[in-house]
Chains A and B, each alone.
Chain A
C-alpha cells in the first residue's frame, strides 16, 4: 500500500486518551509530561551530584577540617562524575528537552511510539534508583572514578568493589535500555512525523542538535553496554576479558591474558561521542536562543547543520585522545591528535556563527539571552583548552592534572549548564504560561556565570603547575607551593557560592509558577512552531483539530519589508513576498 505521511493521516492516528489523574500525569504517554518527568528526575540526581562535589571540594580546599576519608572521597568523585554526565546531562538534554521540543517543533501531536516513550522514562527512573541503592549497599558505591577502569574498578583496593561496582554497571545497562527506547522515538519522530511543509532543512537547530545527538547515542551506547557486560562477567565469574595475570594485594589471581586497554578503547569509543551527545543539543538550543533574542536568523544555517553533522561523524574517530598516555600503541597518537584537531574546525565555525548572529542583530537582553551570551564566553574558553589536550604532546604534561578537570568542566559542566538554564527560562512561558521572574533569574545568572569562571579559571593554572587530579590530599609535596593550596581554598569557596546560587533558581521557578506574569502564547515573538500552539501550555495532542502547515524556514526574523520583526513558520506566503537572498 502506498505510504502516506503521518501528518496527512492525522485522522487515523489514535493518540492515547487519558482520563484519570494517574493516566494524565503519572503513567502518561504525553511527551510533554514525560519530558517534565525526565527533567525533574535528572535535576534531582544533579542536586545529589552537586552535593557530592561540594564534599569533594571541602576535602581538597580544607583537608584538615572535614571528616572525609580517602575511601569515601573516591566514592564521591566517582558518583559525582557518573551522575552528572549520564543521569543529569544526557537525560535532561535528550529525555527532557528532546521529548518536550521535538514533537512541538516538528508539528507532530506526540512521539511516534508514545507507549515506549513512557516506558523509557520509568526504566530511566529504575536506573536512577539502582544507582542510588548503591549508596546504601555494603561497602558503599564504587570509588573507581567515573571512567571505571579495570583492573582497579573490580579489585580490592578500590571502594565499593563488593556491591557498588555491580550496581553501577547494572544501572548503566538499564539506562542504556531506557535511552534506546527514547532514542528510537526521537529519531523516528524526526524522520516520520514532521508536519506538511516541514522539510529537514526547515527544522530549527534545536531539533538538529538533538536529532544528531540521538543518532550518536544509539550507536555509541552499545559500546558502553558491551564494556559493562564484560566487566560484570570479569567481576562475578572471573573471566579474563580485561584482567591479565595479576598479583592483587599479595594474592595471585586466576585470570590471565586480558587487556585493561581493551576496556579503555570500548569505554572511550562510547565516551567521546557521549560528550557530543551532551554538547550537540546544547549547540542547537543555544542557536535558537540567540536567534530569537537577537531578532535575527542564525547566521549560516546550512553551515551550522553541516557542522553538527560533521562533528557528530568525526566524534567517532577521536576517542583515543583520552588514551594518549594509556600505554596504547604510541603510533595511534599521531592519528588521533590529527582527527581531534580537525574536529576543532567545525566547532570553531559554530562559535563564529553564534557571534555573527549577534552582529547587526537587534539584541534584547531577556533572561535567556544573558545565559546564551554566557555560554559563548565559557564555551570559547573550554573549547580552546581542549586544543591543548588534543595535541598529543601537549597532553603529556597536562594529562591527569587539574588542567583536564578545568577543561572538561568548562565544556561539559559550565557551558551546557548555561544553555540548560537559558533554555529552561526561555521555554518556561510555553510550559507553564507564566513568565520567569527576571530579577531572580538575573541574580541566578550573574552568580552562576561569575562563580563558575572563578572556580575553573584558576584550576587550569594549578594543573599546568602539575597538581594531579583524583588526589585526596597532597601532603608536603615540594613542587606545590603553599599558594596553590590557597588557590584550592578559593576554588572551594567559589564552588559553595555557585551551589548556593542554584537555590535562587529553584526559588525563581516555583515563585514564578505562582506569581509570575501571565505569558501569552508567544512572549518572545519566536518563529518556531512550538510557540504557535493554540493553547499555552499546549494540551494533549498539541495542535487542536488541525496540524500546522509550514511555509518557510525557522528563522524569518527581521525580514525586510515586513512590519513585524518575525514571521512564524506556519504563516503562509503573502502575495508579493519576495524570496530574499535567492
Chain B
C-alpha cells in the first residue's frame, strides 16, 4: 500500500512541479507576443512524445512492482488472525533466480552500449556505416536477451516446484513478460529503421535522413530506459 502511496506522491510532485512555476505570472498584465518566453521544452515533438510515453511505462512498471510488494506483504498473512488460516503456513516462497538471468543482463547492457554508439555515430555523415553496424548489433543482442528470458522461464518451470499457484513464479513471469513485450515493441520500431538503413542512405532525401537519425536517437533513449527498468526489476526479484 505504501508503495502505491510513494508512487502517488511522485506523480503528484511531477505534475505540480511542471506547472507551479507558471503561476507567478499575471497573464492579463502581459501584452504582446512575448518572444523568448515561449516556455516550450527545448526538444522536438517526437522526443517529448517519447518521454511522455516513458512516463506511462514508468507508471505501469511502478504499479506492477507496487502490486508485487503488496502481494508479498499480504501473503505473510497481513491481517489474518488465528481464526482463519486456510493454509496459513504457506507464506511467500521466494524464487531462486536462474543464473541465466545474469547473462541476459549483460546482453542487455551490451545492447544499450551498442545502440548508444550508434547514436554517437548518427550525427556525422561519415559514421553512417558504423551507425548501421552498431544499430543492428543492438537489435540482435536484444533478441538474444529475449530468448534468454524464455529459457529462464523454462528452467524454473522444469524444476516442478513452481506453477500458476506460486505467487512468486507468477509474478516473475508476469514482470519479465511485460518488460519483454515492451522490448518487442521497441524491436518493431527498430526493425523498420534497420530495414531502411540497410537499403542505403545515399539516395535518400535530407528530410528522410534526418528522420532516420532521430529514430536512432529515440531508440537509444528507449533502450536505455528499458535497461534501467530491467535493472530495477532484477534487483527487486533478487531481493525478494
A–B contact with Cβ pairs below 8 Å: the answer is yes
Q: From residue 1 to 30 of chain B, which have CB atoms closer than 8 A to chain A? A: 1, 4-5, 7-9, 11-13, 15-16, 19-20, 22-23, 25-30
- A233 CB–B CB distance under 8 Å: yes
30 interchain pairs, CB-CB under 8 A: A3-B44, A5-B38, A183-B56, A184-B49, A188-B45, A192-B44, A200-B22, A201-B25, A219-B55, A219-B59, A220-B59, A222-B56, A226-B64, A237-B164, A241-B167, A256-B165, A257-B74, A257-B87, A259-B70, A259-B74, A302-B23, A309-B19, A316-B7, A317-B9, A319-B8, A550-B33, A552-B28, A579-B29, A581-B28, A581-B29
Name the A residues within 8 Å of B178 (CB-CB): 229
The residue from A218, A240, A314 contacting B59, defined by CB atoms under 8 A apart: A218
Q: Which residues of chain B have C-beta atoms less than 8 A from A112's C-beta?
A: 45, 49
Given A199-B37, A230-B174: A332 and B1 interface contact (C-beta under 8 Å)? yes
Expressed in whole angstroms, the minimum distance between the Cβ of A244 and any Cβ of chain B is 7
State whether B63 touches A314 (Cβ < 8 A): no
Q: Is the CB of B15 within 8 A of A215?
A: yes
Chain B residue at minimum C-beta to C-beta distance from A312: B15
B45 contacts A6, C-beta separation under 8 Å: yes
Q: Hey, which chain A residues are within 8 Å of B56, CB to CB?
A: 180, 183-184, 218-219, 221-222
- Is A279 an interface position by the 8 A CB rule? no
Give chain A nearest CB distance to B204 CB in angstroms: 16
A329 surroundings in chain B (CB, below 8 A): 1, 78-79
12 further contact pairs, Cβ within 8 A, besides A259-B71, A259-B78 = A184-B56, A187-B48, A188-B45, A188-B52, A199-B27, A199-B37, A219-B11, A245-B86, A254-B165, A316-B7, A329-B78, A550-B33
Looking at A262-270, A428-436, A463-471, A494-502, the stretch in contact with chain B turns out to be A262-270
Contact between A313 and B16, CB atoms less than 8 A apart: yes
A305 within 8 A of B: yes
**Chain A residues near B38 (CB, 8 Å)?**
5, 194, 196, 199
* Binary flags per residue of A428-470, CB closer than 8 Å to B gives 1, else 0: 0000000000000000000000000000000000000000000
B35 surroundings in chain A (CB, below 8 A): 196
Query: Are A245 and B37 touching (Cβ within 8 A)?
Result: no
Question: Knowing A180-B53, A256-B86, A312-B15 touch, does A240 contact B31 (C-beta < 8 A)?
Answer: no
Closest to B92 in A: A257
The reply to whether the CB of B43 lies closer than 8 angstroms to some CB of chain A is yes
Check A16 for interface membership: any CB of B closer than 8 A: no
Asked if A238 and B164 sit within 8 Å, CB to CB, the answer is: yes
Enumerate chain B interface residues (CB-CB to A < 8 A).
1, 4-5, 7-9, 11-13, 15-16, 19-20, 22-23, 25-35, 37-46, 48-49, 52-53, 55-56, 59-60, 63-64, 67, 70-71, 74-75, 78-79, 86-87, 90, 164-165, 167, 170, 174, 178
Indicate if A582 sits at the interface (CB-CB under 8 A).
Answer: yes
Chain A residues positioned under 8 Å from B7 (CB to CB): 316
- Of chain A, the residue at the smallest CB distance from B43 is A3
Q: Are A192 and B41 in contact (CB under 8 A)?
A: yes
Q: Once the chains bind, are A3 and B42 in contact (CB under 8 Å)? A: yes
> Given A222-B59, A579-B30, A310 and B16 touching (CB < 8 A)?
yes
Tell me whether A223 and B29 are in contact (CB under 8 A).
no
Interface membership of chain A positions 326-344, coded 1 if the CB is closer than 8 angstroms to chain B and 0 otherwise? 0111001000000000000
CA distance A259 to B75 in the complex (A): 8
Instruction: Determine whether the beta carbon of B174 is less than 8 Å from that of A233.
Output: yes
- Given known contacts A188-B52, A261-B74, A269-B8, A256 and B37 CB-to-CB distance under 8 angstroms: no
Checking B4, B32, B52, B63 against A222 with a beta-carbon cut-off of 8 angstroms, the contacting residue is: B63
A249-277 contacts to B, CB under 8 A, are: 254-259, 261-262, 265-266, 269
Say yes or no: is A306 at the interface (Cβ < 8 Å to chain B). Answer: yes
Q: Does A301 contact B (CB under 8 A)?
A: yes
Which residues of chain B are near A194, meaning CB under 8 Å?
38, 40
Q: Is A556 part of the contact surface with B, judged by Cβ < 8 Å?
A: yes
Q: Taking CB as reference atom, which chain B residue is nearest A301?
A: B27
Q: Tell me the chain A residues, 276-308 only, with Cβ under 8 Å from chain B.
A: 297, 301-302, 305-306
Kindly provide the distance from the CB of B215 to the nearest chain A CB, expressed in whole angstroms. Answer: 14
A326-369 residues at the B interface, CB under 8 angstroms: 327-329, 332
Chain B residue at minimal CB-CB distance from A574 = B31
